[in-house]
């Protein structure tokens, strides 16, 4: 088995690795080190939670020599603000014993403050595509010195609609550079981007995106509706010894707020919520409180499912079956990380069976169905999305198809046509246009009559 002792890295990096407690590289870290360090274009595919950030940062930091220049030499693009903060924090930890300067930029905060930070100079710039492009267009940021471009979670960026900004950023970068791309999945859109902008990239694929993580014990509960799912969570999460640190995923912001309200009534300050509509400070604070253990339960949307390294998550709940089967893998990948074990629970309704089967097909395994706990209240309340569409069979009001688009006659007052006022109409009578173009005396003769 390989160890970091086998890597040819400088003493500063070695000391930082020892401080972090890293001893054995993950497969993606072991395979990526030499390729990234060689300067070739690289595409790395590995599951969430396998240490992709360290896989590309270790060889990059090893090659990055001291410099006083202002413009960044390494550019790292990530899809969310939380990932910017996390990657910056990790780079600072890796470069603890070196003079590496790193700056993070993202939307939702004052751009002028970030302009000042960029103008002061940095070696590595981490940012979201939108804000980074804004800084480049405003000329506060110069990208002419970038030697290495790293795109992390590129499939998420494309899903979030960042393709336009990515392509524009590529146009601003030097032609001669190393391109490094890491992701958990390889989609057709990612393939197209890679074929257009990368030069014969080396592919590193450690595990298929649908391969279940061995460290995660998976369960499935079948329940009839959303509020019954909430009742089930209220029963299970009362066991504080078992559910020490639980992440709960829902599909959208509205459901996140709705579920948070239900859980807050039972668990009070033990539960928090985070999604894209929350302010930046609120989101950062929620993550910090969850990491610190102040929040035992955190409700979130898929914005948290990719890239974020949350410490010691013991359980993951999927309160709905994800629309895309691969998103299930990214969600449950928040637990069972760094040599630990975890448990995941999928809560599905009969209407979500088709999506569940897609997940099972992707993983090539069947999710074991768990028995519902005794005393579970099956709720009759339905959320708007679950309400049936009633059709009134004996509706006495019938539409007259012969009347065209409108279903009733216009009122008399609405039938009137604007003729331009009485004065204008009188003038039109007096000086009306000649019948023929050559008869200029028509109006004069008509007036005599």
pLDDT at 432 > cutoff 80: no
Burial grade of 234 (CB within 10 A; 0-12, 13-18, 19 or more): middle
Question: Is 426 a domain residue?
Answer: no
Residue 439 has pLDDT above 60, yes or no: no
Tokens representing 189 are 């859109």
pLDDT at residue 111 in the model: 93
Q: Is the pLDDT of residue 22 over 80?
A: yes
pLDDT per residue as tens digits for the range 361-407: 988 889 999 999 999 999 999 988 888 766 556 665 544 444 555 55
Is the same domain home to 164 and 58? yes
pLDDT of 88: 94
258 and 185: one domain? no
Query: 3-class DSSP state for residue 243?
Result: coil
Question: In this structure, is the dihedral angle defined by the CA atoms of residues 372, 377, 382 and 388, taken in order, positive or negative?
Answer: positive
Of 435 and 278, which is predicted with more confidence?
A: 278
Higher confidence at residue 205 or residue 62? Answer: 62
Q: Are residues 166 and 32 in the same domain?
A: yes
Report the CATH number that the domain containing residue 250 is assigned in CATH: 3.40.50.300
- What integer pLDDT is reported at residue 384 of this predicted model? 87
Residues 25 and 149 in one domain: yes
Tell me if 396 is assigned to some domain.
no
Same domain, 141 and 176: yes
Pick from 205, 230, 262: which residue ends a domain?
Answer: 205
Taking residues 129-147, what's their average pLDDT?
A: 93
More confident residue, 228 or 194: 228
Residue 101 in any domain: the answer is yes
Are 79 and 28 part of one and the same domain? yes
Average pLDDT value over all residues in the chain: 84
**Residue that is last in its domain, among 331, 358, 386:** 386
Q: Are 61 and 182 within one domain?
A: yes
pLDDT for the residue 401 = 47
Backbone φ and ψ for 244, nearest 5 degrees, come out as -75, -35
Residue 413 banded pLDDT, cuts 50, 70, 90: low
Report the candidate in 327, 289, 333 with the shortest Cα–Cα distance to residue 308.
333
> Same domain for 264 and 188?
no
Check if the beta carbon of residue 310 is closer than 8 Å to that of residue 334: yes
Question: Range of 235's domain?
Answer: 216-386
Q: Could you tell me if 195 and 225 lie in one domain? A: no
Per-residue pLDDT, 279: 77
Segment 157-175 mean pLDDT: 85
Q: Cα separations (Å) of 208 from 45, 114, 185, 214, 259? A: 8, 38, 8, 13, 33
Q: pLDDT, tens digit, for every residue of 101-110?
A: 999 999 888 8
Taking the C-alpha atoms of 374, 380, 384 and 386 in order, what is their torsion angle to the nearest 10 degrees?
A: 70
> Higher-confidence residue: 448 or 276?
276
Position 340 scores a pLDDT of 78
pLDDT for 395 equals: 60
Residues 314-323 have a mean pLDDT of 92
pLDDT average, residue stretch 310-321: 90
Q: How confident is the model at residue 37 (pLDDT cuts 50, 70, 90)?
A: very high
Residue 98 domain flag: yes
- 317, two tokens: 């709940």
In this structure, are residues 244 and 296 in contact, taking their beta carbons and an 8 Å threshold? Answer: yes
Residue 210 lies in a domain: no
Q: Does residue 443 fall inside a structural domain?
A: no
Residue 321, in any domain of the structure: yes
**Mean of pLDDT values over 310-331:** 86
Beta strands in 144-196 (DSSP E): 148-152, 178-183
In this structure, of 204-213, 247-256, 410-419, the range with the lowest mean pLDDT score is 204-213
Based on the structure, what is the number of domains in the chain?
A: 2
pLDDT tens per residue across span 279-293 = 778 888 888 899 888
307 and 358: one domain? yes
324 shares its domain with 275: yes
Whether residue 427 is contained in a domain is answered as no
- Tokens representing 187 are 């989609």
Q: What is the pLDDT of residues 212-259, one digit of tens each?
A: 567 899 999 999 999 999 999 999 999 999 999 999 999 888 999 999
Residue 429: pLDDT over 80: no
Residue entry with tokens 């940062």:
57
pLDDT at residue 265 tops 80? yes
- Say which residue, 98 or 5, is predicted with more confidence: 98
Q: Which of these three, 332, 356, 386, is where a domain ends?
A: 386
pLDDT tens digit sequence for 143-158: 999 999 999 888 777 7
pLDDT, residue 364, reads 86
352 confidence band (pLDDT: 50, 70, 90): very high
175 and 231 inside one domain: no
């Amino acid at each position: 088995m390989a160890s970091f002792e086998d890597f040819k890295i400088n003493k500063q990096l070695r000391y930082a690795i020892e401080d972090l407690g890293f001893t054995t590289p993950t497969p993606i870290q072991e395979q990526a080190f030499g390729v990234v360090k060689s300067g070739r274009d690289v595409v790395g595919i590995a599951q969430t939670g396998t240490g992709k950030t360290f896989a590309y940062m270790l060889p990059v930091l090893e090659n990055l020599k001291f410099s006083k220049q202002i413009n960044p030499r390494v550019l790292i693009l990530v899809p969310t603000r939380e990932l910017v903060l996390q990657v910056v924090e990790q780079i600072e930890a890796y470069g603890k014993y070196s003079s590496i300067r790193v700056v993070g930029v993202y939307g939702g905060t004052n751009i002028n403050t970030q302009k000042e930070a960029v103008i002061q100079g940095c070696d590595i710039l981490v940012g979201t595509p939108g804000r980074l492009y804004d800084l480049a267009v405003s000329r506060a940021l110069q990208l002419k010195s970038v030697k290495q471009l790293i795109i992390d979670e590129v499939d998420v960026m494309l899903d979030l609609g960042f393709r336009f900004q990515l392509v524009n950023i590529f146009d601003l970068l030097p032609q001669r550079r190393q391109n490094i791309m890491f992701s958990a999945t390889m989609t057709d859109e990612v393939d197209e981007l890679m074929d257009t902008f990368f030069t014969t990239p080396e592919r590193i694929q450690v595990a298929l995106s649908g391969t279940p993580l061995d460290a995660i014990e998976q369960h499935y509960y079948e329940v009839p509706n959303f509020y019954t799912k909430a009742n089930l969570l209220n029963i299970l999460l009362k066991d504080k010894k078992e559910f020490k640190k639980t992440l709960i995923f829902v599909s959208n912001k509205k459901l996140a707020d709705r579920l948070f309200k239900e859980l807050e009534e039972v668990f009070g300050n033990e539960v928090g919520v985070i999604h894209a509509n929350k302010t930046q400070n609120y989101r950062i604070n929620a993550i910090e409180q969850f990491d610190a253990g102040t929040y035992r339960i955190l409700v979130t949307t898929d914005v948290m499912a990719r890239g974020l390294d949350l410490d010691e998550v013991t359980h993951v709940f999927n309160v709905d079956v994800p629309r895309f089967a691969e998103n299930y893998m990214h969600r449950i990948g928040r637990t069972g990380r760094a040599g630990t074990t975890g448990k995941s629970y999928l809560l599905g309704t009969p209407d979500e069976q088709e999506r569940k089967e897609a997940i099972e097909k992707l993983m090539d395994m069947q999710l074991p169905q768990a028995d519902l706990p005794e005393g579970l209240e099956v709720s009759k309340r339905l959320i708007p999305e679950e309400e049936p569409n009633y059709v009134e069979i004996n509706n006495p009001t019938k539409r007259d198809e012969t009347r065209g688009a409108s279903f009733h006659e216009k009122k008399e007052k609405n039938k009137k046509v604007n003729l331009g006022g009485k004065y204008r109409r009188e003038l039109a009578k007096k000086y009306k246009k000649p019948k023929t173009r050559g008869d200029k005396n028509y109006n004069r003769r008509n007036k005599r009559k």
